[in-house]
Structure 1
Amino acid sequence: MNPAKQPITVAELIQVQAQNNPDRIAIVAPKRASLTYGGLRDRIDQTATILSTLGINPNDRVAVVLPNGPEMAVAFLAIAATATCAPLNPAYREQEFDFYLSDLNPKALVIQPGVGEPARIVAKQRGIPIIELFPQLEAEAGSFSLISENLANPTAQIQNPESHHIALVLHTSGTTSRPKIVPLTHSNLCTSASNIRQTLNLSESDRCLNIMPLFHIHGLIAVLLSSLYAGASIVCSPGFYAPQFFSWIEEFQPTWYSAVPTMHQSILAQTQANREIISHSKLRFIRSSSASLAPQIMAQLEATFNVPVIEAYGMTEASHQMASNPLPPKERKPGSVGVAAGPEIAIMNETGHLLSIGEIGEVAIKGANVTQGYENNPKANTEAFTNGWFRTGDLGYLDDDGYLFLKGRIKEIINRAGEKISPREVDEVLLEHPAVAQALTFAAPHTLLGEDVAAAVVLKEGITVSELEIKEFVAQKLADFKVPRVVLFLDEIPKGPTGKLQRIGLAEKLGLTASNPTADLVEYAPPQTINEIKLAEIWSQVLKIEKIGIHNNFFQLGGDSILAAQIVNRVREAWGVELSFLIFFQQPTVANMAIEIAQIQAESLESEELDDLLANIESLSEEESQNLLNE
């Protein structure tokens, strides 16, 4: 692309490619003829004409409820190039559409018959004009007609948007608060698309297989717009379906694809039956973003496909990409989301002071791809922006080479009675277990500790393992306070609409309440044996609880790693016995601990008796020794 013609709007981006290479393929789709850049420009011009006749101009909002595929891709480009596109998940329920449409207050709703019908109901109730989109399946991919009964101004002139106009609005996830509207300008989108193109060294010869939802920033910018910015082609699939993935790889021969980690794991599960297709694929790299990629999954992908896996870091407020691992021969660091790839990146403390290399704090960014602020939300903007930096809400640090390592979302960090636990760290250990296919660590409510550690686990097919075995495995690799108190075995971990695993709110979804983060407290049972009486006294002194029942759980009584160490020390002083910290996960009651102490004492006594016997044997003749051993 000629540097003098760097596009600053979505319309210009397509126009530049159409002028330079009108016959080059832009969009392909299963069972459809391909659409060229010249054809794509024509579709955008046609849509712009229709929208203008409806009185829709730059900065006017058009909500879009369409299924994944080439029509959604072209509709986004055409509406963003003309007005402001507000794509919504077609799987929303009526109540959700009512919230989003009322919040967006769009000038029109574009909808395909039979898709997202609750949106149609809400639009009629709210008096929002409806524009019907009818795919033209016999024509090139992305061809459609638009029909509306409410022609507002048939003679209206098309107004071209400028770089500062809003091209796209999306909502934040709203996991912990009301979803916020993120407005992104043409300049934001074009800057981000250019950054991604440069990071991945995309050229006209590349082809991306899109399996990401096109109502999400990852699919819209990282996949669609970056490909078009490079003059490359994009395969618009109907959405992610693991069994179909390899047939698309075989048919369209893409050079790359981008996905979230759960999609990569589903793809890996299908590789054994598709070795032949993999051996003939033209993939030159695989990209991962929108959630942390476990180093184990990265290694499996690279070994399976024999191409580099590029992990990147993105979010809606940055028009997606903020950091990325580079392509070879530059170094890719497993566990890192790479170096700054567009905006500036810094690490900030709570007061807004920028931290040094290696110090952990909140990741902050600034640059031309970053939103100027949330819409109509001064409180959120005050919290999010400090001295021109946007605070991402992610915890991390930069190493000496400028690579960014994330520790998790600040709101996802588990605060267990003041002990801060990164769920990602526990995830990675869980995934090292040979029986574990997927794992997600999250905060479970606790009446005494505030929060405790829980984990949802999906086992590999045909393999079984107990909850205790999982806990013991983690306890060998992490401090005891990081070991999950609850391990739930699931067939599938609940995901968000884009395929991301969501920690926040998972305890509630899975039915873990504050009264049941581990086993329920049991009725008081007084100590009986000498060991139980002495142990109960030690527990009482350490935990500062007057009455300790022999079946009460150490952690439910408020125990933590510091208090566990004190108990181990006092047991050593009282009995001369060395307890393993594993006992706090296997037998965290006075009754079981008393039994363990007795067993260790018995084994020690037997060992001493055997030593005495062996010493005596050494002083006897061979015949006398043999007779003694036989006895």
Structure 2
Amino acid sequence: MERNVVAIIQALDEQCISPNRSNLLFKGLYEQVITVVGQLRGFGINRNDRVAVALPNGPEAAVAFLAISSGATYAPLNPNYRAPEYEFYLKDLAAKALIVQPGVAAPAKDVAQQLGIPVIELLPRLDAAAGIFELSIPTSTVPETPDFAEPDDTALILHTSGTTSRPKMVPLSHCNLCISAQNVKTALALTETDRCLNVMPLFHIHGLIGALLSSMAAGASVVCTPGFYAPKFLGWLGNHQPTWYSAVPTMHQQILGRAATHTTPIKPLRLVRSSSAPLPPQIMAELEQVFNAPVIESYGMTEASHQMASNPLPPNQRKPGSVGVASGPDVQIMDEQGNLLPTGEVGEVVIQGDNVTHGYENNLNANATAFTNGWFRTGDLGYLDTDGYLFLKGRIKEIINRAGEKISPREVDEVLLDHPAIEQVVTFAAPHTLLGEDVAVAVVLKAGASVSEQTLKEFAAERLADFKVPRVVLFLDEIPKGPTGKRQRIGLAEKLGLTASDPTEDRPAYAAPQTPIEETLVDIWAEVLGISPIGVSDNFFQLGGDSILAAQIINRVRAELQVELSFLIFFQQPTIANIAIAITQLQAKTVDSDEMIKLLAELESLSDDDIQQLVK
């Protein structure tokens, strides 16, 4: 079992808890898996029991997935969800336990305790190899001999948004996951000598299968970073010498922005992989030039355990604009009546194979519409060319695909309809050149009511994950309807005259920074967003900002200005000018507090006679 190969490596930078931890070998990984499964059994968690997990990116999250799924069903949750979202997911999963890391996903812990779900804390072992942890299972619990899951057991369960407000549960078996991992391994020709730099979230199918499990299947190694952070990316490449990485197009674009100003040579990679959203051909060409490596665009979705199609490696042809050839499941095109279409005809992309889920859980209606004659309908329009390459034309369903994050419009609708001023609301996709799509809402107010765009965004931000908060709010007297009288989401952006938001267009006149704080913020925004020049009146979201980038800015502000910003400030005051004012006010409060503490200390050191003299 022991190999001279690294299974999990921790990225060495100041964001990591312990930069001096050793690499985890496959033998150590195997021993950790046995330990964890035995602990779960002793705690009463058996095969197919759901264990909800909300962990930050890093080696512990990677090992937790590999270990917990070996004996139970792993249900990863985004650690940035709000309390109402955790409540829904924990109830829907019927979770037997929740695993969290201290200081992370506090709302999840609170909700679990309210629901009577046991909370197990994951404690990283800083004196051990990267990824090794302990679980805070009561000492009275006696670990049992681990019995591992069977191929048809559910290894992973994820929620995917549908066209209704209720996300659908996608159960994936060990067979599904292992076959998909092998498909990625085969498509990329991964071997033991490869090393993946993982920057994708490990609560997402892309990171779990496309980067982590595919590498494990090849006996290769993985560098587990704290998450994607463009200013550090090229440094990580130099430090850890990976042979490849996989990311979404928005990440690739930020990396290119950093590479343009990088002063030292960039080590070539064996390949670059892109998935989860369409990759513009121009970005593909730039990536290949920077990394002197082929860019492999792949097509995946949760219901297929990630990968469905992939462009092949050289010397085979890669076609820009295509997501490649079938790479695992069989891929065909189907019409509305369920007939398979010939080459060149546009229809719905359908798939069939051992990596495809057997169906959504507890959702007969969704399964009835998703499967036709044994084929799973992806909801995407496309066609196959004469060489078998798949070209996608767009989405059939109404799901908003914001840089790979799938958002249910009706989920946003229901949140906003709770606002007392709103009569009607329709959430829809607005085009965006950087993100592909962004969240927009059309709103009709109640008679005599009034509310500002900013107030609605703040209202949504308190109830939804950041990536689901509308960036465009339109107030209308009446929402357009289709021929049958139904409100239509698809095509609504065009009807309302919304054009693609572009970071380089429709920006206010450039306004230079006037204060040291504004200058610092301009530098931080330029580095994180990969855009220059940036003026103090530019809007964070118009520049392509999202929750991941906001977190990076907050971290940089904390380090450089010693101020703790709230995520909400990006919705309340999304310009450098306004944020600089807020920082000045926060710093003033800190100074006043420090001076008061100093004064009290001085008073405590005075004698009674000294105090009487001061009073006189």
Specify the TM-score bucket, using the shorter chain as the normaliser: 0.5 to 0.7
Q: 1:276 to 1:35 in 2, by over 3 A?
A: same
Q: 1:167 to 1:377 in 2, by over 3 A?
A: same
| Cα distance in 1 between the residues matched to 2:150 and 2:260 | 50
Which residue of the partner structure matches residue 353 of structure 1?
Answer: 339
Instruction: After TM superposition, give the deviation of residue 465 of structure 1 in Å.
Output: 10
Q: 1:348 to 1:250 in 2, by over 3 A?
A: same
2:434 is the counterpart of 1:383: no
| Cα distance in 2 between the residues matched to 1:334 and 1:344 | 21
Q: What is the SS of the residue equivalent to 2:501?
A: strand
| Cα distance in 1 between the residues matched to 2:174 and 2:439 | 37
2:126 is the counterpart of 1:137: yes
Q: 1:382 to 1:326 in 2, by over 3 A?
A: same
Kindly provide the amino acid, as one letter, of the partner of residue 266 in structure 1: Q
Instruction: After TM superposition, give the deviation of residue 22 of structure 1 in Å.
Output: 3.2
Q: Which residue of 41, 44, 52 maps to 2:30?
A: 41
Contact 2:268–2:292 (CA under 8 A) maintained in structure 1: no
Instruction: After TM superposition, give the deviation of residue 130 of structure 1 in Å.
Output: 1.0
Q: Deviations over 1:587-618 (max 9, x none)?
A: xxxxxxxxxxxxxxxxxxxxxxxxxxxxxxxx
2:501 is the counterpart of 1:457: yes
Instruction: After TM superposition, give the deviation of residue 439 of structure 1 in Å.
Output: 6.0
Which residue of the partner structure matches residue 82 of structure 2?
Answer: 93
Which residue of the partner structure matches residue 257 of structure 2?
Answer: 269
| Cα distance in 2 between the residues matched to 1:364 and 1:498 | 35
Kindly provide the amino acid, as one letter, of the partner of residue 330 in structure 1: N
- Percent of matched pairs sharing the same residue: 57
TM-score, with normalisation over the residues of structure 2? 0.67
Larger radius of gyration between Structure 1 and Structure 2: 1
Of structures 1 and 2, the one scoring higher in RCO (CA 8 A, sep 6+) is: 2
Q: 1:138 to 1:274 in 2, by over 3 A?
A: farther
TM-score, with normalisation over the residues of structure 1? 0.66
Contact 2:344–2:383 (CA under 8 A) maintained in structure 1: yes
- What is the alpha-carbon root mean square deviation over aligned residues? 2.9
Instruction: After TM superposition, give the deviation of residue 53 of structure 1 in Å.
Output: 0.6
Q: Which residue of 379, 394, 397 maps to 2:383?
A: 397
Instruction: After TM superposition, give the deviation of residue 24 of structure 1 in Å.
Output: 1.9
Q: 1:157 to 1:363 in 2, by over 3 A?
A: same
Q: Deviations over 1:525-582 (max 9, x none)?
A: xxxxxxxxxxxxxxxxxxxxxxxxxxxxxxxxxxxxxxxxxxxxxxxxxxxxxxxxxx
Contact 1:457–1:490 (CA under 8 A) maintained in structure 2: no
1:170-185 aligned within 5 A: 170-174=158-162, 176-185=164-173
Contact 1:439–1:455 (CA under 8 A) maintained in structure 2: no
| Cα distance in 1 between the residues matched to 2:229 and 2:328 | 31
Q: What is the SS of the residue equivalent to 1:455?
A: coil
In the alignment, structure 2 segments of 5+ residues that lack a partner are 13-18, 401-427, 443-478, 483-487, 511-538, 551-569, 572-616
2:96 is the counterpart of 1:107: yes
Q: Deviations over 1:55-107 (max 9, x none)?
A: 11110111111100000000010000111100100001111100000100111
Q: What is the SS of the residue equivalent to 1:492?
A: coil
| Cα distance in 1 between the residues matched to 2:306 and 2:200 | 13
Q: Deviations over 1:445-472 (max 9, x none)?
A: 6637762422342334999899xxxxxx
Q: Deviations over 1:501-531 (max 9, x none)?
A: xxxxxxxx99xxxxxxxxxxxxxxxxxxxxx
Contact 1:181–1:374 (CA under 8 A) maintained in structure 2: yes
2:483 is the counterpart of 1:447: no
Which residue of the partner structure matches residue 246 of structure 1?
Answer: 234
Contact 1:62–1:86 (CA under 8 A) maintained in structure 2: yes
Q: 1:352 to 1:413 in 2, by over 3 A?
A: same
Q: Deviations over 1:187-245 (max 9, x none)?
A: 00000000000000000000000000000000000100000100000000000010011
Total equivalences in the alignment:
443
Instruction: After TM superposition, give the deviation of residue 409 of structure 1 in Å.
Output: 1.1
Which residue of the partner structure matches residue 248 of structure 2?
Answer: 260
Instruction: After TM superposition, give the deviation of residue 442 of structure 1 in Å.
Output: 8.4
Q: Which residue of 27, 40, 43 maps to 1:54?
A: 43
| Cα distance in 2 between the residues matched to 1:204 and 1:289 | 23
Kindly provide the amino acid, as one letter, of the partner of residue 276 in structure 2: S
With 405-414 and 257-266 compared, the bigger mean Cα shift is at: 405-414
Which residue of the partner structure matches residue 179 of structure 2?
Answer: 191
Q: Which residue of 313, 338, 356 maps to 1:327?
A: 313
Q: 1:463 to 1:99 in 2, by over 3 A?
A: closer
Q: What is the SS of the residue equivalent to 1:142?
A: coil
With 51-60 and 444-453 compared, the bigger mean Cα shift is at: 444-453
Which residue of the partner structure matches residue 5 of structure 2?
Answer: 24
Which residue of the partner structure matches residue 629 of structure 1?
Answer: none
| Cα distance in 2 between the residues matched to 1:36 and 1:327 | 29
